[in-house]
Structures are given as C-alpha cells and as structure tokens.
Chains A and B, each alone.
Chain A
C-alpha cells in the first residue's frame, strides 16, 4: 500500500504494528523541520544531522507514549529540541565560526540579488547570534518562537521555574535584538 498520502496517525499505528517502512515515511515527512530545530539550536550542520537522526530513534522508542490524537510534527520537534538541549548542556561553548556560517550559498535565482543578499546576511547573523546564546536562552527562544509554547509549558519542558523562563526569554530577545542591530555586538558575555 502506498504510504505517501497516508495520514500521520495511520503511519504511527502501522509503525506500532511493526511496519518499519511506515516509520521511514514519517522520517521523510519531518526530517527537514527536525533538522532545522537541531541546526538552530546547535549551529553546526553535521551535529544537527546526527541529532536529527537521534531524535527519530528516540521518538521510535517512545512511540507507544505518543497520543495519536495529537499532531506528530510538534511532538517530534519537541523530542529533537530536548535532545539538543541535553547536548548543549554537555558541550557548553558553541562551536560555530563566522566563516562556516557564511559558507551558505545565496540563492541567485531571486529577482533582486541585493535584497536576497541582505536577507541571507540577516539570516546568517541571526543564526550566528542564536548559536552564541547561552544554552537555556537558546532553548526558550526555540520553544517560544518555533514551537509556540506558553511560558508554563516551557517551564515544565525545561524543568525551570517560571521566573527563570521570563528572565531567560527577555534577556535572549535583548541579545538577539542587539545582534541584529549591530553584527559586531558582543553576545556571548551576558550569560547570567
């Protein structure tokens, strides 16, 4: 039976019954978004790919606990975010270099190359700023802005008091704002 058009719920249930190829289809569907969660949090391509693979393995092991009434995408992305946070806490200093980040090719197919360049430049600066944030700041930005979690959900997910979540969030945003205004601004020093 072709799986490309099957709803996520059916694929999860088939996987639970031992159809490993159904899980392969879920991986294909969500690998890009999971990889992007990992890349935003880790800032390094190869590590992001490794963690994305790990996230799918972890999710497979925990598939029995997944509620099929809920969407699969946010769940697997949250699994990935938690894995990345664990990894960040183990290796605190980010390994990203400016040169590596600017390796990204610019899409020259767009009509206005200057505008495209400016957008790509801002995206690179933002990614760089994200990877320079302390681990918990990066986590709250990821969970709030990309997973639409409430403050309370973030507090539960990160096992932190609500007051810490509020502080991390406003400090992280302040650092990002500063970095977006001035690429040379120092981001890494304010970790407290």
Chain B
C-alpha cells in the first residue's frame, strides 16, 4: 500500500502533523516507489525555484504613469459630459413648447400636456431664480427665442423626417464625442521591446 498522491503532496508541503507525518516517514523509509515519487516532487520544486527571471527590455513606469494620467483626463471629460447633458436638458426644456407641436402626434394628449406644463414651470422657475440673482435674461431669452424658432423652411417638415434628422444629429454627436474621448480609453501602451533571459 503506497501513500496516495494527495497525502504525499501534503507531506511534501509540510502540512501533515503528528501521527500522520510519522506514518508517512516510516512508509518512506521502506518504500522505494514512494521515495521515487517524493524525489520527483522535489525535482519539480527545484526546477520551479531555479527558473530564471526574465528581464524587461524597457521600463514600464512611463507607460503606467501615462495611463494613470489619461484616467485623470477621463474624470475631467466625465464632468464635461455631465455639463453637456445638463445644458442639453435645459435647452430641451426651454424648447419643449415648440417641440411639442412637432412631436405631438406621437404622444398622447395627456402625457404631452403634462410634460409641456412641467417644462414651462421648470423654465419659469429657472428664470425667476436667475432674475433674483440680478441676471438680465429677458433680452437674452428673447434673442434665443427668435433664434430657436423653427425656420419657415422646416415648418412643413414631416414627422418621420424630423425624427430621422434628430436621430442623425444624435448619432453625429455620439460619434464626435467618441472621437474626442478616444485618448481617454486607457489601453496598454506597447513599446515593442524584446525581453531577454
């Protein structure tokens, strides 16, 4: 009866204790085959311990630090995205009464009304806060109102075309942002050096 493999490995790793380790030692004194198996484990251990370390042919630290830097830029760009979103939401809220006329057919009457009322009240609140802060936004709002009026050429635009144009504009925006944010996608920086032993 030989030592089973798990037991022999545990003996080799010094995990057996007390009677178990004495029993294993006694068996190894008399069993040539188990001694050979133990010697094989020792050879594997020695080979692994003696495995020479490869040396890097170049320093990784500049690449790591550059990638850490680009992650900081990502955080800045994330803030830019937050402000962009807030700005877009503000513009959408301001333009909503006008947009509602366009997209009215695809919304039910009650939801359209609810959103319109919400947008109007939200904008009125913003206006009153800004006015209390002393900002003269009346003329600015009038100018923006004039600018944002639906051009007469687009007044007769069909709903599917209007939605299509909106989707195209969004897609362009997303593509543009992906391009701008591309450097922030931290990937390993490869220097293509050789390593030697």
Binding site for B on A (CB under 8 A): 20-21, 23-25, 27-28, 31-33, 35-36, 39-40, 45-46, 49-50, 52-54, 56-57, 60, 104-107, 119-120, 122-123, 126-127, 141, 144-146, 151, 166-167, 169-170, 173-174, 176-177, 180
Let me know if A180 and B44 touch, CB within 8 A.
Answer: yes
The 4 closest A-B pairs by CB, nearest first: A50-B188, A27-B61, A170-B9, A145-B48
- Once A126-B48, A180-B44 are accepted as A-B contacts, the answer to whether A57 and B67 lie under 8 Å apart by CB is yes
Let me know if A145 and B49 touch, CB within 8 A.
Answer: yes
Whole-angstrom distance from the CB of B51 to the nearest CB of chain A?
6
Q: A176-B47, A180-B47 are in contact. List 18 more A-B contacts (CB 8 A).
A: A21-B65, A23-B64, A31-B56, A35-B54, A35-B56, A40-B51, A50-B190, A53-B67, A53-B189, A54-B188, A57-B186, A60-B64, A105-B197, A106-B197, A144-B13, A145-B45, A173-B41, A177-B40
Whole-angstrom distance from the CB of A96 to the nearest CB of chain B?
14
Let me know if A49 and B6 touch, CB within 8 A.
Answer: no
Chain B residues whose CB sits within 8 angstroms of the CB of A39 once the complex forms: 54, 195
Q: Considering the chains assembled together, what is the distance between the CA atoms of A188 and B68 in angstroms?
A: 38
Proximity bits, B29-49, A CB within 8 Å = 1, else 0 = 000000000001101110111
Chain B residues whose CB sits within 8 angstroms of the CB of A57 once the complex forms: 64, 67-68, 71, 186
Chain A residues whose CB sits within 8 angstroms of the CB of B138 once the complex forms: none
Q: Considering the chains assembled together, what is the distance between the CA atoms of A176 and B43 in angstroms?
A: 10
- Once A53-B188, A169-B9 are accepted as A-B contacts, the answer to whether A32 and B44 lie under 8 Å apart by CB is no
- Once A50-B188, A166-B6 are accepted as A-B contacts, the answer to whether A126 and B196 lie under 8 Å apart by CB is no
Let me know if A49 and B190 touch, CB within 8 A.
Answer: yes
Which residue in chain A gives the minimum CB-CB distance to B41? A173
Size class of the contact patch on chain B: 35 or more
Contacts A/B (CB < 8 Å), 5 sampled: A32-B55, A46-B190, A141-B48, A151-B13, A177-B40
Chain B residues whose CB sits within 8 angstroms of the CB of A40 once the complex forms: 51
Q: Judge if B60 is at the interface, Cβ distance under 8 Å.
A: yes
Whole-angstrom distance from the CB of A134 to the nearest CB of chain B?
17
Whole-angstrom distance from the CB of B3 to the nearest CB of chain A?
11
Which residue in chain A gives the minimum CB-CB distance to B14? A150
Let me know if A122 and B47 touch, CB within 8 A.
Answer: yes
Q: Considering the chains assembled together, what is the distance between the CA atoms of A107 and B53 in angstroms?
A: 13
Q: Considering the chains assembled together, what is the distance between the CA atoms of A33 and B53 in angstroms?
A: 8
Proximity bits, B181-197, A CB within 8 Å = 1, else 0 = 00000101110100111
Q: Judge if B145 is at the interface, Cβ distance under 8 Å.
A: no
Task: Choose among B55, B60, B65, B196 the residue with the greatest number of A CB atoms under 10 Å from its CB.
Answer: B60
Which residue in chain A gives the minimum CB-CB distance to B52? A123
Let me know if B9 and A36 touch, CB within 8 A.
Answer: no
Q: Considering the chains assembled together, what is the distance between the CA atoms of A41 and B42 in angstroms?
A: 21
Whole-angstrom distance from the CB of A109 to the nearest CB of chain B?
12
Chain B residues whose CB sits within 8 angstroms of the CB of A177 once the complex forms: 40-41, 43-44
Q: Considering the chains assembled together, what is the distance between the CA atoms of A35 and B55 in angstroms?
A: 8
Q: Which of A54, A107, A119, A151 contacts B15 (CB 8 A)?
A: A151
Whole-angstrom distance from the CB of A33 to the nearest CB of chain B?
7
Let me know if B68 and A23 touch, CB within 8 A.
Answer: yes
Q: Judge if B59 is at the interface, Cβ distance under 8 Å.
A: yes
Task: Choose among B45, B47, B53, B189 the residue with the greatest number of A CB atoms under 10 Å from its CB.
Answer: B47
Let me know if A24 and B65 touch, CB within 8 A.
Answer: yes
Chain A residues whose CB sits within 8 angstroms of the CB of B9 once the complex forms: 166, 169-170, 173
